[in-house]
Amino acid sequence: MSLHNLNGLIKHTESRASQMLQQLKSQGIHHPALLAKMGDIPREKFVEPAFSHLAYSATPLPIGRNQTISQPLTVARMSQWLLEYARLGRVLEVGTGSGYQTAILAHFFNKVHTIERQEILHKLARQRLEKMGIHNVEYLFGDGQAGWPQKIDMDAVIITAMVSKVPVALTNCLKENGILIMPINQPTPQIGCWRKEGDRWKRLAIEVAHFVPLLEGKVYA
């Protein structure tokens, strides 16, 4: 590729990222550090090459193994809730996927623990983030609904796939006043943010959302 074409590609990508940020602002995303980080991360590196031209569009995109990268608004909304309500110590992410949400979490949290049940996605995400110089992440190939294998108290848990009931193993690892972000299909598909208060949960936010389902049991190589 010539230098002229490379410069043109860079400018085009910057323009698409800028348009994405403007749309996010119009949809209620206001955290300046979050917007800046989403503008910096090359989202096209987290999607299949055939869809790279759509990387900054307002739609989920395939990443392989019948999984998707969430649209920018969904990622931004979940991240903004964490920044507004959670202590930024340790966070458990269930569903590493492409690693895009993981990269954002790693920028704000001291430590990210992330679980992926598709081995190829687990390996690709780890390689991708390590090449980007992100080293405060612990990766696990396994069943996310079983939680993290070691006993670690988390400041937040974020589940990036739709569930029909709350996985007890995940809520048990939350500290008091810890934050749970989870898509749930009861009574309709939506994503919510809750704070753990003893044996009760205080709902902090809720939005309509659609996700691929969170699978359990056997993991896949």
Residue 48, CA distances (Å) to 58, 71, 81, 140 in order? 16, 14, 28, 22
* Residues paired with residue 87 on neighbouring β-strands, in sequence order: none
What gap in Å lies between CA 152 and CA 36, rounded to an integer? 30
* C-beta atoms surrounding 108 within 10 Å: 17
Read off the amino acid at residue 149: P
Furthest-apart CA atoms within the chain: distance in Å: 61
What gap in Å lies between CA 29 and CA 147, rounded to an integer? 30
Residue 164 designated active-site: no
CA 138 to chain CA centroid, Å, is 15
> Could you say which DSSP state residue 41 is in?
S
* C-beta atoms surrounding 46 within 10 Å: 23
Q: Which two tokens stand for residue 117?
A: 């049940």
**Set 70, 79, 98, 164: catalytic member:** 70
Report the SS3 class of residue 48: coil
What gap in Å lies between CA 88 and CA 111, rounded to an integer? 8
> Annotated active-site positions, please?
70
